């Protein structure tokens, strides 16, 4: 099973990123709880994936918000230090305050997927993400950065 998931990650990374892209950011905003038959199949699948496990309407409401998937790839750096994927963002209600989420991967990893979600009360009280920056570090060294248009 582990080999299958590694293969799927490799195929997914290969399909999404060019050979020179070490860090790719995918965004998805879940705005409503209802299933629309008119939506594209990929949109229906993504909505179903994020709403999975939520049974009541209150649970489904807590899944609404913004999702960020960071795909990283660094085959040359294997064993040269722990990988840290950092997601920094600013929300509408907190103005210029920069919030930060991180996910670490072992030094032996050469690729991976880090998912960050701003959902539920964090989303409703803090507001939409206005600007974001994603960074990939290995052993404390910055390897790649992606940012939204409004990030300063």
- The closest of 93, 91, 97, 137 to 114, measured between CA atoms, is 137
Domain spans in the chain, listed from the N-terminal domain onward: 2-147
pLDDT, one tens digit per residue, over 27-70 is 988 877 677 777 778 777 777 776 677 778 787 777 888 999 99
Give residue 20's pLDDT.
Answer: 59
Give residue 2's pLDDT.
Answer: 45
pLDDT, one tens digit per residue, over 62-110 is 788 899 999 999 988 777 889 999 999 999 998 789 999 999 999 999 9
Say if residue 4's pLDDT is above 70: no
Name the E strands within 16-98: 23-30, 65-73, 83-91
Coil, strand, or helix at residue 69?
strand
Give residue 5's pLDDT.
Answer: 44
Give residue 145's pLDDT.
Answer: 96
Q: Is pTM, for the whole model, over 0.75?
A: yes
Residue 129, H or E segment: strand 129-138
Cα–Cα dist 70/75, whole Å: 16
pLDDT confidence bin for 116, thresholds 50/70/90: very high
Say if residue 1's pLDDT is above 60: no
């Amino acid at each position: 099973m582990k080999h299958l998931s590694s293969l799927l990650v490799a195929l997914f990374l290969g399909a999404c990123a060019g050979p020179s892209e070490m860090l790719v950011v995918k965004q998805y905003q879940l705005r409503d709880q209802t299933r629309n038959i008119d939506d594209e199949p990929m949109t229906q699948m993504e909505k179903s994936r994020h709403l999975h496990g939520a049974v009541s309407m209150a649970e489904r409401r807590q899944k609404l918000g913004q999702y960020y998937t960071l795909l990283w790839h660094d085959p040359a750096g294997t064993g040269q230090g722990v990988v840290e994927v950092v997601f920094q963002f600013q929300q509408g209600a907190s103005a210029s305050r920069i919030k930060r989420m991180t996910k670490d991967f072992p030094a032996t990893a050469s690729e991976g997927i880090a998912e960050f979600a701003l959902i539920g009360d964090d989303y409703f009280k803090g507001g939409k993400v206005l600007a974001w920056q994603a960074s990939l570090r290995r052993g404390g060294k910055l390897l790649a950065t992606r940012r939204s248009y409004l990030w300063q």
